[in-house]
Structure 1
Amino acid sequence: MKSCINKFVITGGPGTGKSTLLYELAKKGFLCFPEASRSIIEEQLQIGGDLVPWVDMDRFSFACMERMKIFYNKSCDHPTFFDRGLPDILGYLYLTGCEDMQDIRDNIDAYHYHKTVFILPPWKEIYETDNARKEPFSEAICLHNHLIRSYEESGYHVVEIPQMSVDNRVDYILDYLEI
């Protein structure tokens, strides 16, 4: 697998602190892209649309993939962090039992991130549901395992970030990457 040395993915199930972590990385001057799926869900909820995973997971997955590719193509030569990467879509499809994933796999093969992907583990004490995050905590645990599988099958090395303060998580990542 080809590796893009400046495109870093932070992944994990819902409610693990990814958005907070990316917000802190952005405050340090790094280019960060938000979670495509959450953006699409929030947009759809505002307009009363039906492009949401609980209505049509296949259509929603395709929309997420297209949004993620836009983010990917907007990134630059400087270190850039993404709230989820294309293999996340595969992890969600594993969770739902979807069998037809070739288009997703083709795009994963075409869009490469840094070989190391950071995953935040399920953390019950910070987990919350809302209008865009409806999954129970038990599903977040299952998704965590599917995400590890999808990234490893796609050729990435998955590094779990310990449950600690957001500042310590930022330091952990930057120290690990030596940036």
Structure 2
Amino acid sequence: MDLSAPRHAVLTGAPGAGKTTLLDAAAAAGIRTSPEVARELLKTPGGMSLRAQDPLGFAEAMAEAHIKEHERHAGQPCLVVFDRGLPDVVGFLDVSGLAVPAAIDHACRSWRYCGPVLRAPAWAEIYAQDSERIQDWDQAVASDQAVTAAWRRYGYELIDLPLVRVEDRLSFMKAKVYPAA
């Protein structure tokens, strides 16, 4: 295994900015992927009410799920592209006006991603709410700002994805995650 090659790429950014669509295209192209843990939690019974009634508990559940996904892909000889990561939990807490618990801060400092962090900026032309994406446009923009700041707080540099069709975004992503290819 080439330990100098990127092992983790992360898609982060605004809700509804095309991350899941890009992740699906990456998976179809044979790239190992990891789903967005928040969306998975929201789909479970009581997930939406947990987010609404106990945002700190929801953040703790997201952090735990991110760690499990990180562990699940540990030691893999190939790259994994994650749909969001631990610093996104901090962004969620920040945009919710909540303090970051020491355990979540520690997890962000301990469970590091070793590869590019690609940011999908807010993109009004494709934004749409759905049963799990409940933010309005202004909230989506605020969320993007909060998660971007959180990733930077933990020492990551973000690369903005271009606002282009998914095939072109996939080509851009491949060039960033496989720079020698």
TM-score, scaled to structure 2 = 0.90
Displacement, 1:61?
A: 0.6
Aligned to 2:29: 28
2:90–2:100 Cα contact (<8 Å) kept:
no
Name the aligned partner's letter for residue 69 of structure 2. F
Structure 2, unmatched stretches of 5+, are none
Given the two structures, how large is their TM-score scaled by the length of structure 1?
Answer: 0.91
4+ residue runs over 6 A deviation: none
Match of 1:7 in 2: 8
Q: Residue 8 of structure 2 aligns to which amino acid in structure 1?
A: K
CA contact (8 A) 2:117 2:159 kept: yes
1:102 to 2:102 alignment: yes
Q: CA deviation at 1:49?
A: 5.5
Find 2:71's aligned residue among 45, 54, 73: 73
Letter paired with 1:146:
A
**3-state secondary structure, aligned to 1:52:** helix
Q: Call closer, same or farther: CA 1:4–1:89 in 2, change over 3 Å.
A: farther
Partner residue, 2:153: 153
Distance 1:97 1:37 in 2: 18
Mapped partners of 2:54, 2:38: distance in 1: 13
User: Cα RMSD between the aligned structures?
Assistant: 1.7
* Residue 111 (structure 1) aligns with: 111
Stretch moving more, 82-91 or 122-131: 122-131
Identity in percent: 28
3-state SS in 2 of match to 1:53: helix
1:118 is paired with a residue whose SS is: strand
Q: Is it true that 1:58 corresponds to 2:56 in the alignment?
A: yes
SS in structure 2 opposite 1:138? Answer: helix
Question: What is the CA-CA distance between 1:4 and the residue it aligns to?
Answer: 8.5
**Do the aligned partners of 1:40 and 1:52 also contact (CA within 8 Å) in 2?**
no
Flag the 1:82–1:174 CA change in 2: closer, same or farther, 3 A: same
In structure 2, what is the equivalent of residue 17 of structure 1?
18
Partner deviation per Cα, 1:104-144 (whole Å, 9 max, x = no partner): 11001111102531000111111111121110010111111
- Letter of the 1:114 partner, please give it: C
Contact 2:12–2:118, Cα closer than 8 Å, also in 1? yes
Aligned pairs, number: 174
Other-structure match for 2:87 = 87
Where structure 1 has 5 or more consecutive residues not aligned to the other structure, the ranges are: none
Deviation, 1:100, is 3.7
Deviation of the 1:158 alpha carbon: 0.6
Q: Structure 1 residues 132 and 152 mapped into 2: Cα distance closer, same or farther (>3 Å)?
A: same
Query: 1:13 & 1:156 partners in 2: Cα distance?
Result: 17
Give the Cα–Cα distance (whole angstroms) in 1 for the partners of residues 103 and 41 of structure 2. Answer: 20
SS at match of 2:132: coil
Partners of 1:176 and 1:30 in 2: CA distance:
13
Deviation at 1:176, TM superposition (A): 2.1
Q: Which residue of 2 aligns with 1:175?
A: 175
Cα drift, residue 51 of structure 1: 5.3
